[in-house]
Structure 1
């Protein structure tokens, strides 16, 4: 899923089911996700915080807010991409993740870069 938010921040997310960290019999499904945040604008921005929603297959939402990402509050220059990988757990084999990043520009004005819904899916084998 891709989103472009003024001032031109593009967010791409890749999700992967983590079978080695999940306990399916206990309804614990872990997904890793890699986020690529690209500054498509003409000035440097800084990522201050994140606000995520992780939603299971029944619409139950888990909310996560915090300072920065993976312990960082990166500055992202024009044309640069900041990427990181993290993980989440939900209690169904399918779900969604979405949210926003609070960003600040050099003039100290802030804005939210919206992250559109991305699917979380456990692969299934057909026999």
Structure 2
């Protein structure tokens, strides 16, 4: 049986996602005319109940407009339970064909009653620093 997806769930606005990015110039991908980036995500649960991160979806766009989508269960091999007032932090990465790009997406979360809801992840930039003087 599929758990119903709830649009406009009351908890959506109480889960905050913040992102810090970093170019990884020492990464092997950079030697193949690619650009490697790390992004550190903090998911803060400012609601009154525990939630669980079930799935993720990313739309990655490079500087040429090439789009790729990534989706799947959890993040970094985990489907973390985030208790009320707590946060979960992880680091992952992306490799682009260009020195500038962006990412955006959402997390699919589950509340204590099993209802699924989406938490949007606002667009953020991946860029080699000091590219434009």
Report the Cα offset of residue 42 of structure 1. 0.5
How far apart, CA to CA, are the structure 2 residues paired with 1:97 and 1:28? 16
1:124 aligns to what SS in structure 2? coil
- Classify 1:58/1:76 alpha carbon distance in 2 versus 1 (closer, same or farther; 3 Å): same
Residue 80 of structure 1 is matched in structure 2 by 86
Asked whether 1:124 is paired with 2:130, we answer: yes
What runs of 5+ residues in structure 1 fail to find an aligned partner?
none
Matched pairs, number: 123
Higher percent of residues as strand? 1
Q: Which residue, out of 3, 13, 35, partners 1:29?
A: 35
- CA RMSD, aligned part only? 1.8
Residue 115 of structure 2 is matched in structure 1 by 109
Report the Cα offset of residue 7 of structure 1. 4.5
Residue 95 of structure 1 is matched in structure 2 by 101
Report the Cα offset of residue 123 of structure 1. 1.3
Moved over 6 A (4+): none
TM-score of the aligned structures, taking structure 2 as reference length: 0.86
1:33-77: CA deviation from partner (whole Å, max 9, x where unpaired): 100000011010000010011110122111101110011000001
1:60-115: CA deviation from partner (whole Å, max 9, x where unpaired): 11110111001100000111010000111010000101100000000111101000
TM-score of the aligned structures, taking structure 1 as reference length: 0.90
Q: Is the 8 A contact 1:46 1:104 kept in 2?
A: yes
What runs of 5+ residues in structure 2 fail to find an aligned partner?
1-10
Q: Is the 8 A contact 2:57 2:70 kept in 1?
A: yes
